[in-house]
Amino acid sequence: MASIVSVVTGQLRHMPAGGLPHDIFALGIASKIRIDRNSTAMASSDFGRIVEAAPEAVLHPATPSDIAAFIRFSASSPAPFPVSPRGQGHSVRGQSLAPGGVVVDMPTLGRGHHSRINVSADYVDSGGEQLWIDILRATLEQGLAPRVWTDYLHITVGGTLSNAGIGGQAFRHGPQIANVEELDVVTGTGDMVTCSREKSSDLFFAALGGLGQFGVITRARIMLEQAPKRVRWVRLAYSDVAMFTRDQELLISKRASEARFDYVEGQVQLNMTLAEGPKSTPFFSEADINRLAGLASQSSSAAIYIMEVAMYYNDTTASYVDKKLEKILEQLSFVPGFVFTKDVRYVQFLDRVREEEEVLRSAGLWDVPHPWLNLFIPRSRILDFDTGVIKGLLGGTNPVGVILMYPMNTAKWDDRMTAMAPLAGEDMFYTVALLRSAVDASDLEILEGENEAVLSFCDKEGIECKQYLPHHKSEDGWKQHFGTRWSRIAELKAKFDPHAILSPGQRIFPSPHLLSDT
């Protein structure tokens, strides 16, 4: 150990002023701390490629107790330093970064000999570092699967549960955080706590959707259901947004017949994107794109709308799929003839974005800035938002990326959890996700300006929206985000992370300053 300490502290002399306490390398986990430039550089940016902030070090824990010991050290130091768990770094505004502190490389938890995914009859116990795609593979071996999925599966359990985890199944089962029975959490004091709705419930509800502010999720018990084998995957085109939203709301409401879909989402296709964008996609052929572009050119609108739905089935129900689909489609008001279907394996459907990722990577369009803006919009204002933003601010644009628009049922969200939905007292709200990419520097400035214009429009028009994967530049912005729940959030922060060392990249609470010399 002495030789390790001498080498590491030798490197430490070259670190900028305000580095970590020197006695950090006397810890029993010193060998798992990396301060070399390659390690810190890899933890200095995220998927967004907008914010860069270098940590002083990276921790590669082998067990949750390593994380606990490290956080206890920081919390007990004269100058506590920031600590941020990082799974796949899929944040877009530096939320997973730890400027001047330590990034915890969560994937190293899953590289030991002990399995961190354990499947039972009703649930799966998963390490917080595990990817959802690996959860899917493990549970399918038992004929089971979680009930709710994000659209992209190559992100971690702890990462999505720290936000909410939304997708096309959330209208029925709620977000992923509503489908968790138990958590193991390492708090900002270094305590290792097992919590649930019945046990240490304040930490349980705080951590779910808590943006990493109250603890590091190291294990989650996630509810399962019987897994289907195949999926009838359908996209329907609309030229009228009122009919599009009416049909979406019908399909997720109690008024829908029992022969309904298992997944409901929707996309906005801007006319310029159809005319000047890709000539085919992993779902749409070139002929399909040409037909959609023709529909857009005939429409007086600046966009057309694509409802994306799916029906799950197994061998025993395969013979009923066509009849069930026909029965549902009879109730809907899409443009006649604009029905596009695919029949795929369940895994292929859930992991569909991976194919799109490969296309973007091959075109050099994946590792670029992603100035994403995700909003929850009250149901009563979605048409106003469409008029002012989709047809107004964005109507003449041709961005690289996707615009999602689909509703969820408010009753499926538990307001005891930290994740925020619109507070308008309505039975439904919409997700509108501007998932756009900046191919060059000028694109980034333009897209950032459009995002600001969207938020200004909502504020000016009194549209009470909430950001999902939120980013606010000031404490006032966060106070507005949490509204009447701000004081409770502050109380929980003081209880579970009194030194405000966890996840400083969220910029919710002031982070401690590092001492210039120790």
Check: CB of residue 130 under 8 Å from CB of residue 157.
yes
Which three-class secondary structure string do you get for 204-215?
Answer: HHHHCCCCCCCE
Check: CB of residue 190 under 8 Å from CB of residue 72.
yes
Q: How far apart are CA 240 and CA 66, in angstroms?
A: 55
The catalytically annotated residue of 22, 151, 225, 356 is 151
- Per DSSP bridges, beta strands 339-345 and 230-238 are antiparallel
- CA separation (Å) from 34 to 24, 29, 30, 224, 511? 12, 11, 9, 38, 22
Does the annotation mark 56 as catalytic? no
Find tokens 């990276």 and name the residue: 58
- For residue 232, the cross-strand partners are 311, 343
Angle at 499 between CA 495 and CA 505, to 5 degrees: 105
Residue 391: name the closest of 254, 239, 187 by CA.
Answer: 239
The catalytically annotated residue of 90, 173, 471, 499 is 90
Check: CB of residue 169 under 8 Å from CB of residue 50.
no
Q: How far apart are CA 254 and CA 514, in angstroms?
A: 54
| 343 membership: H or E segment, kind and range | strand 339-345
Fill in the DSSP letter of residue 395: T
Does the annotation mark 151 as catalytic? yes
Q: How far apart are CA 127 and CA 136, in angstroms?
A: 14
Check: CB of residue 296 under 8 Å from CB of residue 276.
no
R_g of the chain, CA atoms, integer Å: 24
Q: How far apart are CA 25 and CA 4, in angstroms?
A: 8
What long-range pairs does 408-413 form, CB within 8 A, spacing at least 24?
408/166, 408/170, 408/171, 408/252, 409/171, 409/172, 409/252, 409/253, 412/170, 412/171, 412/172, 412/173, 412/174, 412/175, 412/178, 413/174, 413/175, 413/178
The catalytically annotated residue of 249, 265, 351, 450 is 265
Does the annotation mark 184 as catalytic? no
- Per DSSP bridges, beta strands 428-437 and 303-313 are unpaired
| 125 membership: H or E segment, kind and range | strand 123-127
Check: CB of residue 205 under 8 Å from CB of residue 161.
no
Active-site positions?
A: 90, 151, 265
